[in-house]
A = this chain, B = another copy of it.
């Protein structure tokens, strides 16, 4: 039985789509994508941020580049990687959301990240947007400076989780009677969990948001992006 030429084309197409599937079939690569959703990173930073050796990170990047999810360019002696487009970050969010809905085990673990009712603000992006408009909100971005610089929620102040001290907290200009929210890299960001704990230990009644910039963008809200 001879294969129809259209059938061959169709199979080729599915093979191509499977490249993207393959790219998102490894926890390490998913971690890299979720990191890159917050801005470009060098291979080194990417390896460090996902607990991999440089060589393995480089190998995973090869797969991500083969699927055209990630592009990179060499500047000086460093290779800067970034997602190929906003649609990649949105696809990652779609995959994550589907997993949260479909996989029982994922749903269980995910709940543990949003379990601490006192420390978590159950706001959605649009609800926060409404609170921001009425003005009585202090919003903290706990991510590293470069990520904040790349894009952050409107009105957010940058307070990198690693640099939280009593001094910083004391000099925070807080709106009278306003709520204090913090976000980091998303609902499963360990740095954000710890940062929030530390802030609360220092007496700041901050609550962690369960979303970050990528989710905010996916919800159709505006961000403050780096010029140029």
Cβ B18 vs Cβ A26 within 8 A: yes
Most chain B CB neighbours (cut-off 10 Å) among A26, A27, A96: A27
Cβ B31 vs Cβ A99 within 8 A: no
Cβ B6 vs Cβ A18 within 8 A: no
- Chain B residues with CB below 8 A from A103, complex form: 16-17, 19-20, 67-68
Counted per complex, copies of this chain come to 2
The distance from the CB of A47 to the nearest CB of chain B, in whole angstroms, is 15
Q: Does A69 contact B (CB under 8 A)?
A: yes
Given contacts A16-B105, A94-B94, A98-B91, whether A25 and B25 have CB atoms under 8 Å apart is yes
Q: Scoring A residues 169 to 212 as 1 if CB is less than 8 Å from chain B, else 0, what string do you get?
A: 00000000000000000001010011000000000000000000
Q: Scoring A residues 67 to 111 as 1 if CB is less than 8 Å from chain B, else 0, what string do you get?
A: 111000000000000001101100100111111011111100110
Q: Is the interface of A mostly helix, strand, loop or mixed?
A: helix
Q: Does A117 contact B (CB under 8 A)?
A: no
Q: How many A residues touch the partner, as a band?
A: 35 or more
- Chain B residues with CB below 8 A from A102, complex form: 20, 67-69, 84-85, 87-88
- 16 A-B residue contacts at CB 8 Å? A6-B194, A9-B112, A10-B190, A13-B106, A16-B105, A17-B96, A18-B30, A20-B95, A20-B102, A21-B30, A68-B103, A69-B102, A84-B102, A88-B102, A91-B98, A94-B94
